[in-house]
Structure 1
Amino acid sequence: MPAIAKHNDVLTVIIIFAVEPARQQELIDAIVEFLEVVKQQPGFVSSSIHKSIDGVRVMNYAQWQNQEAYQAFISNTQVQAKGEKLREFQIHEYHRYEVVVSLPDNATLKIAKGGLIHLAEFRVKPENQMRLVELEREYLPLGLQNPGLISGNFHRSLDGVHNINYGQWRSFADFEELVKDPKYKPLSEYWQGLAENEFHLYEVVHTEPSD
């Protein structure tokens, strides 16, 4: 079963596709088919496929042993040709990440099929990225006062222009409670002036290795 690498012992690659709702499942099937090839590549650790509840996003949360292994994979033209079908779909965001904040300390960080995820994307200038990380670390304990939030996991893109919060939830009703409760309002404001924010709610639909 895949797990979020809290101590950055792997390279995390997050690919987010923008898709028409009518083709969301087609894209998921194409990724899963390609994974049969990908999982055989040296240095592959895991892949977790997520579909957004609104139907307009598909996200692959992948892990590799290191950057060298991942670079060898994407440079292998024979392997990449096996994923030709994926080129029919638009990539919304694609970056390499390290996990920089993960709370609570005793959280279960397994990624399992059926898991409910809030993915918040922050587009940021490189000079503001680490300040945003500091604020994420400061404000995450407030979010964790909601008992429905299992863990918050902030990722910093290695190119300096993107941060992601991968929040694991017990139910979407718990997330909606956070949105509505005034005491959590600072969570929608701390990044103002530093980043542009977009979020979607996802369900984990496939994991490799399987759970």
Structure 2
Amino acid sequence: MNQAIVLINVFTVAPENQLRLIDLLTKATEESVKFIEGFIAATLHKSVDGTKVTMYAQWRSREDYENMRKNAVASPYLEEALQFAQFDMGMYEIVRQFEAEQP
């Protein structure tokens, strides 16, 4: 049984490269990643101090994510990002989700 997974990827950059990385990750997602089978959604975040960019991405399964990593169309974007940013990937399973109480 495949279980959906979440990737929380944290990139560390020099503040002058934060927007460059956001643009690159946006392009990668808009032009290739979102069309790969198993992709559910992604959210891009930037730190207020300019040194981090974090992407939260949901995939239908670990296998789907691994297939994306092998995809020749998607991989050049990560290679380019690694030229000016450090990358720390975390793979997670959703345990529980909390929502605000409605009055």
**Alpha-carbon distance in 2 for matches of 1:87, 1:18:** 10
Match of 1:90 in 2: 86
**In structure 2, C-alpha distance between the alignment counterparts of 1:41 and 1:55, rounded to whole Å:** 30
Q: Size of the alignment, in residue pairs? A: 97
Which structure has the greater CA radius of gyration? 1
Cα gap change, 1:82 to 1:50, in 2 (>3 Å): closer
**Unmatched segments (≥5 aa) in structure 1:** 1-8, 109-149, 151-211
Give, in whole Å, the separation in 2 of the partners of 1:22 and 1:50.
Answer: 16
Q: Secondary structure at the match of 1:99?
A: coil
Note the alpha carbon deviations across 1:76-104, whole angstroms, 9 max, x for none.
2343124432122111x21110122433x
SS of residue in 2 equivalent to 1:30: helix
Query: CA RMSD of the aligned region, Å?
Result: 1.9
d(CA) in 2 for partners of 1:70 and 1:11? 8
2:62 maps to 1:67: yes
Matches within 5 A, 1:95-134: 95-103=90-98, 107=99
Bigger fraction of residues in strand: 1
Q: Does structure 1 retain, via aligned residues, the 8 Å contact 2:24–2:77?
A: no
Judging changes above 3 Å, is the alpha-carbon distance between structure 1 residues 102 and 82 closer, same or farther for their aligned structure 2 residues? closer
Q: Deviations over 1:156-206 (max 9, x none)?
A: xxxxxxxxxxxxxxxxxxxxxxxxxxxxxxxxxxxxxxxxxxxxxxxxxxx
- Structure 1 residues 84-130: Cα deviation after superposition (integer angstroms, max 9, x where no partner): 32122111x21110122433xxx15xxxxxxxxxxxxxxxxxxxxxx
SS for the counterpart of 2:93 is strand
TM-score by length of 1: 0.42
Using the TM superposition, give the Cα deviation of residue 51 of structure 1 relative to its aligned residue in structure 2, in angstroms.
0.2
- Structure 2 residue aligned with 1:35: 29
Report % sequence identity. 32
List, as ranges, runs of 4+ consecutive aligned residues in structure 1 with deviation greater than 3 Å: none
1:21 aligns with 2:15: yes
What is the one-letter code of the residue matched to 1:34? A
